[in-house]
Amino acid sequence: MTTARLLLLAAALVAGACASDPATVTDGRSSGGDGSPDDSSIGFRDHMPRDQAQQIDLPASDGLDNDGSGSDARDDAPAPRCSGTTCAVKDGKGQCQGGVCVVVSCDAGFDNCDKDDKNGCEAKLDSIETCGTCTNKCEFQNANAACASGTCFLATCKTGFGDCDGLRKTGCETPVTTLTNCGACRKPCTIKNGSGDCSSGTCQIGKCTPPFEDCNKAANDGCEADAAWYPDLDKDGFGDTSNKVVQCAMPPGSFNWTHEGTDCYDKNANAKPGQTSYFPAHRGDNSYDYDCDNKATQRWTVRGRCIGCNLSAAGWQTTAPGCGAAGNWLYTCRKIFSSCLPRYQPRTQECR
């Protein structure tokens, strides 16, 4: 055959190969009318470089998120086709089975939790969602969980809760916004002269018990101040209960003020709680209640007696007189010859 004819035959063969079905370039096969592979396409793949023959390009995405990953990138594409024995997968080892690359093992700390060979060993086994295994999700009641070395643990309690029983399975089970657990487990909220409030997780003054008030606005000493003031007109240290003023600072006035509001009569300094003396005259309002116990107590109540002309008991000649009243008081018995004469002296009954 002449040289010219050989050149024409070579050109024809090249042109025929370029006009082949594009499918023969993508997957290395071209179906004939009977479904049998076309020898020319097989020859084309066989002549590709070895590194290109191991991983063939996938079709483009259809623009839909078919696997729920949040992205449409190649998610509807079939697993990469391969040839040979091994193939590359993410964070693991792959094997070529029937021309498809499948996951056969995962590296330590990873797993193929979604059973999708396309994305390899996608799950980290040190995450809260997959801690140690694909199905172990770290969750604790009222708490923030964490995963370390494949084990779930309680990291921190959420605001307002505490792990008071020490049991991991119950999480942070106890509210720490109560009067018995205020800000922490077993930390009570108590307020001096009042009641507490721990709704914010910090012990605060809820309410003061009258007459006390929180005058310095500090919760640590509670309702520290007696805020009830009483005018003390007679300056005996006890005030008039009927004119109480409640405020932190002493009220103004030309007279004394006191926190002791137990005076029963504020116009006589002798009339006051705890008085031990007795008085022959009323305190100023016809009452003899000087010790503020709501009654008048007589100082002397016994009747005097002479026995064998000896004074058996000093006392009143007859029945004891009332408060402020006068009577005869037997103070001695005197014998004159054969007679015994009792001696009396006038006395006014004292009371308090």
Instruction: Show Cβ contacts of residue 179 under 8 Å, excluding neighbours closer than 6 positions.
Output: 188, 189, 190, 196, 198
Q: What pLDDT, on the 0 to 100 scale, is given for residue 151?
A: 92
CB 320 within 8 A of CB 301: yes
User: Over the stretch 236-288, which tens digit does the pLDDT of each residue have?
Assistant: 999 998 889 999 999 987 789 999 999 999 999 999 999 999 999 999 999 99
Among 81, 86, 91, residue whose Cα is nearest residue 122: 91
Both tokens of 118, joined, read: 């396309």
CB 305 within 8 A of CB 314: no
81 — pLDDT class (breaks 50, 70, 90): confident
User: Over the stretch 317-332, which tens digit does the pLDDT of each residue have?
Assistant: 999 999 999 999 999 9
> In 62-198, where does DSSP find H-type helix?
none
Burial of 55 (0-12, 13-18, 19+ CB in 10 A): middle
User: Over the stretch 135-194, which tens digit does the pLDDT of each residue have?
Assistant: 999 999 999 999 998 899 999 999 999 999 999 899 999 999 999 999 999 999 999 999
* The amino acid at 307: I
